[in-house]
Structure 1
Amino acid sequence: MASINAISYYLPEEVLTNEDLHEMFPDWSAEKIVSKTGIRQRKIAAEDEFASTMAIKAANKLFQENGISPEEIKFILLCTQSPDYFLPTTACIVQHALGIPVTAGALDFNLGCSGYVYGLSLAKGLIASGEVENVLLLTSETYSKHLQKDDRSVRTIFGDAASATFIDNTNKGGRLLSFVYGTDGNGAENLIVKGGGMRYPDLPHNNAGPAEGALYMNGAEIFAFTLRSVPAMIDQVLEKNNLGMQDIDLFIFHQANQYMLDHLRRKLAIPEEQFFVHMADYGNTVSSTIPIALKDAMEQQKIKPGMKVLLAGFGVGYSWGAGIVQF
């Protein structure tokens, strides 16, 4: 049985506060921003910080905090939508920098807000197959490098972060139960970075370029998709695990923004004390939101032995996934 053995995360040093954003956009007060998003500040990667460097810092923190040796790692999964390069694979760069044996497998996968849940499921499959004894699952996003500086619709939401999770077959920590998934590429245009890929190579995709090459988000459509897809996904994952809502002790959803999470919680009739929200100081860190929230819930002793925790990710793609962890 695959289990989450340990989690650590890394946050960049630079802070973008609501007061900073108010200076950029004077008609939006700091109070208005926090009331709309639930976010007070977000961490921003430095110019010389990238997916690989942040993933390396998160992994080293995991090793130091939990007495794990890089030599133990059998496979690396790295989730990012802001890789260092088109090629080589960022996970290969990380493997070398961390001193993980060359006998380890390593791959990137391109998913956003559902990525951590998918990564847990992929790790579970690798371990269940008997191919490896453990997996280092990394998430690392520098979405700030995709954002147009004067696009306040996304500047107020996204932050940068990386996480590292050690998943093994020792049955210590949180056992990974069954997962469900969903995909609807019809929504691809509603959260997209068109610049920088092969289809539109001439569109600058960094924050210095024109808006059409930077990250675009149709907030209304993303909100509608979420309210449409997430409740059905929760029903499906509970049914697959032969559980009911009353069997779940804590719900940890992708930390998109406070407004969206409040609507989902009410729609699903989840008691507020069982719905963990902890994003005010981080922002929406895409694939890193769930592991950060999960780690913080553990540290706050919101999770105790015997508890079942439901994890749900949803967003860009459209892509969604959910799973249950038994502690």
Structure 2
Amino acid sequence: MEAYIKHISYYLPTEVLTNDDIVNQFPEWDNEKIIQKIGVQSRNITRNDEFTSDISVEALNALCVEHCIDKSEIDFLLICTQSPDYFLPTTACIVQDKAGLSSSCGAIDINQGCSGFIYGLSLAKGLVVAGIAKNVVLITAETYSKHIHPLDKGNRSIFGDAAAATLISNHGEYRLGEFSLGTDGKGFENLIVKNGAMRNRKTSENEVPNDNNLYMNGPEIFNFTAKAVPTLISDNLKKNNESIDTVNQFIFHQANTFMLEYLRKKINIPSEKFLIDMQSYGNTVSSTIPIALKNRLDLQIKDDKILLAGFGVGYSWGSVVIYNK
């Protein structure tokens, strides 16, 4: 049995943070600098009363409405998030109820970041191929803006909030090929929210960014990415008996345009085969790949083979080739 990506939909919160908004708060920053360094013009941000379960339900409802999906046929729900509503219960349980899914639907969270869509696809494929589920919905949803201190202009410029819902089934448009996955936990402190869980309880808020907030060591993340991703792509191409020449399109995690261009050139991927789609969304963590893939599919371009690759927080990385049947 095979597993396929059947449909994708996504939801963007209605509040928009533009570069002009950021520059108005931080006059030393300017629009051209943000575009040059990051490649983002605007990003969507959740309201103070809007959380991961809310945007997950919106994405799931969009999926069902856009593609005429009967919710009773969804028999497994995977939610990938690092900004859950609560420590417990899982956000997936909340979404199952809010979205009106059957009580016979399995529902679990996975805590994974920038590689989360690839990891989620691998789990969904396992469920379908094993016959455990027929229709798995993978939701990638993040409200990273709630982790970021208001005075952290760098991370506020990079990250946006979003949720994407992907239906994986035993039939569909794109067959899931072989996966390459990896982890190197030695770099875990380089992208982290240190306080708030059991090891380090959250402290009182400070007027400046502290360990309650998202911290990213940009240079170390870049070094990790520059080392791990070319090897990842080489390995996954070999696993799928493909080459750069035989793959029609490469869709990487949309981290920032500087990093993406660096990787493209290092791996020798032609620019016409390399998708960059983040200017209006920012880095939406685990949702960057499904958003970019959905936008690509909406153009009705029949790519025979697309390589997807995610990498980042953890450190973790993953890749898969998907095939138009």
Please tell me the TM-score bracket, short chain as reference.
Answer: over 0.9
SS of structure 2 residue aligned to 1:246: coil
Identity of matched residues, %: 55
Shift of 1:244: 1.3
SS of structure 1 residue aligned to 2:29: coil
Structure 1 equivalent of residue 127 of structure 2: 126
Assess if the C-alpha contact under 8 Å between 2:221 and 2:312 holds in 1.
yes
C-alpha distance in structure 2 between counterparts of 1:131 and 1:31, whole Å:
50
Residue 272 of structure 2 is aligned to residue 237 of structure 1: no
Q: Deviations over 1:172-210 (max 9, x none)?
A: 200000000010000001000011111111335x89774
Residue 315 of structure 2 is aligned to residue 318 of structure 1: yes
Residue 2 of structure 2 is aligned to residue 4 of structure 1: no
Assess if the C-alpha contact under 8 Å between 2:306 and 2:322 holds in 1.
yes
Q: 1:31 to 1:173 in 2, by over 3 A?
A: same
Structure 2 equivalent of residue 168 of structure 1: 169
C-alpha distance in structure 2 between counterparts of 1:25 and 1:32, whole Å:
12
Assess if the C-alpha contact under 8 Å between 1:137 and 1:166 holds in 2.
yes
Q: Deviations over 1:127-153 (max 9, x none)?
A: 000111110100110000000111112
Which residue identity is paired with 1:130?
G
Residue 71 of structure 2 is aligned to residue 74 of structure 1: no
Assess if the C-alpha contact under 8 Å between 1:148 and 1:207 holds in 2.
no
Which residue identity is paired with 2:276?
V
Structure 1 equivalent of residue 43 of structure 2: 42
Which residue identity is paired with 2:316?
S
C-alpha distance in structure 1 between counterparts of 2:10 and 2:207, whole Å:
28
Assess if the C-alpha contact under 8 Å between 2:52 and 2:142 holds in 1.
yes
Assess if the C-alpha contact under 8 Å between 2:162 and 2:287 holds in 1.
yes
| Correspondence list, 1:140-159, <5 A | 140-159=141-160
Q: Deviations over 1:187-241 (max 9, x none)?
A: 001000011111111335x897742210000000000000000000001101111
Residue 224 of structure 2 is aligned to residue 219 of structure 1: no
Structure 2 equivalent of residue 26 of structure 1: 27
Shift of 1:300: 2.3
C-alpha distance in structure 2 between counterparts of 1:194 and 1:98, whole Å:
32
C-alpha distance in structure 1 between counterparts of 2:138 and 2:55, whole Å:
13
Which residue identity is paired with 1:157?
I
Structure 2 equivalent of residue 58 of structure 1: 59
SS of structure 1 residue aligned to 2:158: coil
SS of structure 1 residue aligned to 2:245: helix
C-alpha distance in structure 2 between counterparts of 1:169 and 1:209, whole Å:
50
Q: Deviations over 1:51-104 (max 9, x none)?
A: 100000000000000000111101000000000000011000000111111111
C-alpha distance in structure 2 between counterparts of 1:11 and 1:71, whole Å:
25
Aligned residues: 323
Q: 1:207 to 1:215 in 2, by over 3 A?
A: farther
Which residue identity is paired with 2:290?
P
> Aligned to 2:302, which of 298, 301, 304?
304
C-alpha distance in structure 2 between counterparts of 1:272 and 1:316, whole Å:
26
C-alpha distance in structure 2 between counterparts of 1:207 and 1:142, whole Å:
21
Assess if the C-alpha contact under 8 Å between 1:149 and 1:207 holds in 2.
no
SS of structure 2 residue aligned to 1:213: coil
Assess if the C-alpha contact under 8 Å between 1:140 and 1:288 holds in 2.
yes
Shift of 1:48: 1.1
C-alpha distance in structure 2 between counterparts of 1:156 and 1:11, whole Å:
17
Q: Deviations over 1:260-290 (max 9, x none)?
A: 0010000011111100111000000000000
Residue 188 of structure 2 is aligned to residue 191 of structure 1: no
Assess if the C-alpha contact under 8 Å between 2:151 and 2:208 holds in 1.
no
* Unaligned residue ranges in structure 2 (runs of 5+): none
TM-score normalized with structure 1 length? 0.97
Q: 4+ residue stretches of structure 1 with deviation over 2 A?
A: 206-210
The answer to which of 206-215 and 29-38 deviates more is 206-215
The answer to which of 108-117 and 94-103 deviates more is 94-103
Assess if the C-alpha contact under 8 Å between 1:146 and 1:207 holds in 2.
no
* Unaligned residue ranges in structure 1 (runs of 5+): none
Assess if the C-alpha contact under 8 Å between 1:16 and 1:43 holds in 2.
yes
C-alpha distance in structure 1 between counterparts of 2:132 and 2:198, whole Å:
35
Q: 1:20 to 1:323 in 2, by over 3 A?
A: same
Q: 1:51 to 1:209 in 2, by over 3 A?
A: farther
